[in-house]
């Protein structure tokens, strides 16, 4: 059996950490973020990422404002969409737009090219999709 001070500490800890789960602290930087930013790697240069730092890609077989990555393709290359694109350093706001995909969902474009994630990129700065099949590439501003 725990002594009274340890029981109190234990119970206080549970209550304290439960508050973070039940009532997460909002991150004002996220709310004010543009949805897109730029990262840079020495070997790859500058490229577009979402607000979390997850890499965005373009598909060489897409046409301006037309996505050809549908159905099974989209399972590996999920479309990226944000309605908060403004003030991306190194880009003009007019570089970004929104298209409607064949399934009716929205997708963000950069200079008319639809933007995608790669399913195996999970952390800030991952670029595992770059160059796959010689048709998937980082989006360089």
Q: What is the pLDDT along the chain (141 residues), one digit of tens a residue?
A: 656 655 655 555 555 444 434 333 333 333 335 589 999 999 999 999 999 999 999 999 999 999 999 999 999 999 999 988 888 888 999 999 999 999 999 999 999 999 999 999 999 999 999 999 999 999 999
Q: Is 57 inside a domain boundary?
A: yes
Least Cα distance to 124 among 50, 36, 35, 32 occurs for 50
In-domain check, residue 2: no
Q: Are 27 and 75 in contact (CB under 8 A)?
A: no
Number of structural domains the chain divides into: 1
Range of the domain at 59: 7-138
- How far apart are the C-alpha atoms of 137 and 113, rounded to whole Å? 11
For residues 69, 75, 79, 82, the Cα torsion angle rounded to the nearest 10 degrees is 170
pLDDT at 86: 80
Residue 44: is it exposed, middle or buried by C-beta count within 10 angstroms (0-12/13-18/19+)? middle
Note whether residue 16 is domain-resident.
yes
């Amino acid at each position: 059996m725990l002594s009274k001070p340890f029981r109190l500490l234990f119970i206080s800890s549970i209550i304290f950490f439960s508050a973070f789960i039940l009532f997460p602290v909002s991150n004002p930087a996220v709310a004010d973020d543009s949805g897109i930013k730029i990262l840079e790697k020495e070997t790859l240069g500058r490229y577009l990422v979402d607000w979390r730092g997850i890499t965005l890609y373009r598909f060489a077989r897409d046409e301006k404002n037309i996505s050809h990555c549908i159905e099974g393709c989209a399972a590996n290359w999920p479309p990226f969409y944000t309605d908060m694109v403004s003030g991306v350093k190194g880009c003009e706001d007019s570089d970004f737009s929104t298209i409607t995909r064949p399934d009716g969902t929205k997708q963000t474009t950069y200079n008319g090219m639809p933007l995608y994630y790669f399913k195996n990129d999970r952390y800030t700065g991952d670029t595992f999709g770059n160059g796959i099949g010689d048709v998937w590439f980082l989006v360089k501003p």
